[in-house]
Amino acid sequence: MESPTPQSIALLGRQPALGLAELEALYGAEKVVPYGSVAALLDLAPEQIAFDRLGSTIRIARILTTLPSNNWRDIERYLLTTLPEKAASISGKLSFGISAYNAQTNAQKLARTALLLKKAIKATGASVRMVPHKNLELGAATVLYNKLTAQNGWEILIVSDGKSTIIAQTVRIQDIDAYAARDQARPHRDAKVGMLPPKLAQTIINLATGPITSNESTGILVLDPFCGTGVVLQEATLMDYDVYGSDIEARMVQYTIDNLTWLDTLYPQAGDYRRVEIGDASKHTWNFSHLNSSQARLIVAGETYLGQPLTTLPSSEHLSKIMYEVNQLHHRFLKNLAQQIPSNTRICLAIPAWRGKREFLHLSVLDYLSDLGYNRVSFKYTSQDNLIYHREGQVVARELLVLTKQ
């Protein structure tokens, strides 16, 4: 990071490695640095961070100070000496709450500190309301419901890395209801093709987008060659990107069209161009005439065919057969795609990796990427092995493969 005083802290989601890679892809390693195991520091003001498109960052906060200690008494002393004065300058009633991550404290101590802070603020004559503290962290619903990120609200975020502690004020928090609404209310979902969470779709698109500059003069066209029910294309549309989907199944193509049409009713101004068609990704010819007419930059983002859904690890013979077939498809698809897309096109595909007894089993096509015409993108803070989206108990995980066309 160029500046020694980062302005913002990002609290990363369930798999922090994905959040780090996402931030690094968009803002570059010179603006982002990991902080402890759950956060990243950004050399950007919170307002410069495109929070709405981040799938793997759950909160963005403005850094107030960095204390050279993780001792709770030092943290409490800072809060009690600094914040009451700040609160006194707020007009109207202040609502506040405290969330602590990796701090050396417990819920009772934190609740006591919050109460002391409330009393200290009251003593300045300011009007104040405190949300109840039952755990070390306030839930997103509590923060949103109590408007703690609004003008008269404060969520004080305390994050330790084991040595130092950052004290920050939350500016944005993931709106879980909005994600749930656009996931569950869309006309077509299909458990069989898998339920790609919208947040993961955003992260896939961000990894495919790469560095964003506020003055990117041309638009972006997102191709998803395995579009299924259209989650990736929905999220791309919400980023105001042009979208192009194809899928081998006519039913899925119709699902994507219907879901995008439904999205139009909620967000009529999002996205200008869309094209959805039937196509076998291993041999389809995509029509990129839109790139010529619009000067848009192409990116490829999607979740490929993950093989048959599995609830338990099959016999090694059965698993080898599944992996062989899925690998063949990916090999043919990547070869076909490479012949049609411009050099330097960025790609992020969620591809399957299977949770073996001890480790993840990867598609063998990963060993032939450069022969197929691709370079794998590496990240400063996230190793390739960590770019795997996986939930406890799942046999089929999603490996996020980030490439550029040679």
The DSSP secondary-structure symbol of 296 reads: P
Report the residue number, 184 or 293, with the smaller CB distance to ligand SAM: 184
Integer Cα distance of 240 and 85 in angstroms? 42
Q: How far is the CB of 230 from ligand SAM (least distance, A)?
A: 6
**Identified binder of ligand SAM from the candidate list 44, 193, 200, 243, rule CB under 6 A:** 193
- Virtual CA dihedral for 248, 254, 260, 262, nearest 10 degrees? -160
304-333: contacts with ligand SAM (CB under 6 A): 305-306, 329
168, β-bridge pairs: 63, 157
Contact 348, 402 (CB under 8 A): yes
Which of 18, 39, 44 lies closest to 161 in space, CA to CA?
Answer: 39
- Alpha carbon of 196 to those of 248, 285, 306: distances in Å? 18, 25, 11
Stretch touching ligand SAM by CB under 6 A, among 91-99, 123-131, 221-229, 319-327: 221-229
Report the residue number, 32 or 349, with the smaller CB distance to ligand SAM: 349
Which of 282, 299, 140, 137 lies closest to 205 in space, CA to CA?
Answer: 299
Q: What sign does the dihedral 186-192-195-196 (CA atoms) show? A: negative
Q: How far is the CB of 393 from ligand SAM (least distance, A)?
A: 19
Report the residue number, 145 or 324, with the smaller CB distance to ligand SAM: 324
Q: Does 237 bind ligand SAM (CB under 6 A)?
A: no
Report the residue number, 128 or 306, with the smaller CB distance to ligand SAM: 306
Stretch touching ligand SAM by CB under 6 A, among 11-19, 20-28, 66-74, 300-308: 300-308
Give the pairing of strands 220-224 and 297-303. Answer: parallel
**Identified binder of ligand SAM from the candidate list 228, 245, 271, 307, rule CB under 6 A:** 228
Q: How far is the CB of 31 from ligand SAM (least distance, A)?
A: 30
Q: Does 229 bind ligand SAM (CB under 6 A)?
A: yes
Q: What residues make contact with ligand SAM under the rule CB under 6 A?
A: 193-194, 196, 225-226, 228-232, 247-249, 252, 280-282, 303, 305-306, 329
